[in-house]
Amino acid sequence: MYLTREQERILSGERGAAKELAMTILAKVGEALGADSLVPIKSAHVLAHYSSLHEAGIEVLEKFSSSGGRFAVPTTVDPASVDLENWKSFGIPEEYAEKQFRLCTAFAKLGGIPCWSCAQYQVCNFPKAGETVAWAESNSVVFANSLIGCRTNKITSGLDIACAIMGMTPRFGMLLDENRVAQVAFRSAIDRPTDLDYRSLGYYIGRHSGSRVPGLDGLPRKVSSDELKHLGAAAAAGGPVTMIHYVGITPGSGSMKSASGGERVETFDVGRKELDEVESDLNQSEEKPDLVALGVPHLSVYELGQLAKFLEGKKLKGGTRMYAYTSSQAYDLLERTGVKREIERSGARLTHSTDAEISPLKRLGFDVVMTNSAKLAEIVSSEGEVKIRYKPVAEIVEEVTS
């Protein structure tokens, strides 16, 4: 990989220890992945939650922050492993929260924007089409490449911090035109999809794309960006998907033919039967849930308004909790508009700056979790500690409230 003279200087430690470490990671990963050079980025989105980063991740972040590191571009962050404001009331053990706070402190010292959201593109990090960014968080990556039309690879933890510190990323993978062409097609024939159908469809695409970029045709014209957020998240949970050409929506993908660069590609038809298969695969239990978890990825202000309507006049039955996960920005807004109160009147709770799949569900005593998130279902059920019930939100509300 080509390095400029200045990049060579950084690599040899002339610009301080933090930059030297960041550049070493960029140079080695770039070299390993066949990048030809480093290119500037407009923003970064990084990971700093204890449940996945563990002790080693704390050491990495603190190594950067204690050696003079500073983010060179606007840098947002994925959710924490605990609600950063109300963690005590959710029963999080003190010593667990302390680990998360060490990551928060290091992130703040590096100059990050503390949005703590996995839908940061809906609250505080908006690139424009054509820009290059370096984002971790697989759902954000799919959203960026497919809907915003900017370019990012799925940046893994460690590399994310290095990109943010240098304000650059290795040029490989999804940054290159030739890798952004659809190589497999999915045709949806689902009439009036429910919330669950969008997620199951995404998951199906993730499971059947392999390492190919998928294209998707046949979505209703009125599909919302929130629905596509969940579809993309499910696809990225089911396989290594980093972009979906939504025919008629993704910039430059007016037809499957233009998405695939004129090539004929393998095509999957996805109907009720395929979605039923996904549902029975992800649905592992018929037991009464201890927890209903809504919002992996984070729900938007609009989605939470919908949830408030669903819950109107209803009360949670005993023995089941319901948490709706969102960003702190959306949380504040809902507090001011009264929607938070409407949701909580039912006995459900709104929680911010964290998310279900990265919080210690088992330690908090939850054995059966009900959700409409295929991403949560995939992550939790693959671990096997907590059983998942995978249902549409209408059915969930019907079952757990009276």
Partner 1 sequence: MTKVISFMGRVLLEGRAKGEALVSRRAFTFAHGVEPSTGVVTDLRSDLSGENVREKVLFFPFGKGSTTGAAWFLETVRLGNGPAAVLTQTAEPMIVTGAILGEMLYGRKIPVMTDFPPTMAEILRTGDPVTVETKRREVMVSREG
Beta carbon of residue 374, minimum distance to partner 1 (angstroms, whole number): 13
Judged by CB, which is closer to partner 1: 153, or 401? 153
Beta strands in 41-126 (DSSP E): 44-46, 75-77
Helices 159-166/17-32 angle, 10° precision: 120
Judged by CB, which is closer to partner 1: 268, or 399? 268
Can you tell me which of 22, 82, 106, 155 binds partner 1, judged by CB under 8 A? 155
Closest CA to 292 of 196, 388, 195, 402: 388
The residue type found at 334 is L
Judged by CB, which is closer to partner 1: 122, or 381? 381
Is 277 among the residues that bind partner 1 (CB under 8 A)? no
Length of the chain equals 402
Judged by CB, which is closer to partner 1: 52, or 89? 52
DSSP 133: -
Can you tell me which of 105, 211, 255, 280 binds partner 1, judged by CB under 8 A? 211
Applying CB under 8 A, the span of 150-158, 182-190, 222-230, 269-277 interacting with partner 1 comes to: 150-158
Lookup: tokens for 141: 């990556």
The CA dihedral of 163, 169, 170, 172, to the nearest 10 degrees, is 130
φ/ψ of 106, rounded to 5, equals -65, -40
Can you tell me which of 160, 197, 217, 355 binds partner 1, judged by CB under 8 A? 160
Is 165 among the residues that bind partner 1 (CB under 8 A)? no
Applying CB under 8 A, the span of 152-160, 244-252, 255-263, 394-402 interacting with partner 1 comes to: 152-160
- For residues 189 and 269, the answer to whether their CB atoms sit within 8 Å is yes
Is 178 among the residues that bind partner 1 (CB under 8 A)? no
Is 154 among the residues that bind partner 1 (CB under 8 A)? yes
Can you tell me which of 28, 109, 187, 345 binds partner 1, judged by CB under 8 A? 28
237/229 Cα distance (integer angstroms): 12
Q: What is the largest CA-CA distance in the chain?
A: 68
Judged by CB, which is closer to partner 1: 32, or 129? 32
Q: Which of residues 33-92 bind partner 1 (CB under 8 A)?
A: 33-34, 47, 49, 52-57, 59-60, 63
374/224 Cα distance (integer angstroms): 18
The site that binds partner 1 (CB under 8 A) totals a number of residues, namely 45
CB-CB neighbours of 2 under 10 Å: 10
Q: How far does Cα 140 stand from its chain's mean position?
A: 5
Is 328 among the residues that bind partner 1 (CB under 8 A)? no
143/214 Cα distance (integer angstroms): 14
Beta carbon of residue 278, minimum distance to partner 1 (angstroms, whole number): 13
Can you tell me which of 91, 210, 252, 271 binds partner 1, judged by CB under 8 A? 210
- For residues 161 and 53, the answer to whether their CB atoms sit within 8 Å is no
Question: Three-class SS of residue 287?
Answer: coil
Judged by CB, which is closer to partner 1: 346, or 354? 354
Judged by CB, which is closer to partner 1: 170, or 289? 170
Closest CA to 79 of 356, 341, 361: 356
Beta carbon of residue 383, minimum distance to partner 1 (angstroms, whole number): 5
- Residue 345 contacts by C-beta under 8 Å, 6 or more apart in sequence? 311
Is 364 among the residues that bind partner 1 (CB under 8 A)? no
Can you tell me which of 10, 21, 243, 388 binds partner 1, judged by CB under 8 A? 21
Q: Which of residues 369-388 bind partner 1 (CB under 8 A)?
A: 378-379, 381-384
193/197 Cα distance (integer angstroms): 5
Residues of this chain that interact with partner 1 (CB under 8 A) are 21, 24-25, 28-29, 32-34, 47, 49, 52-57, 59-60, 63, 136-138, 141, 153-160, 173, 206, 210-211, 237-240, 378-379, 381-384
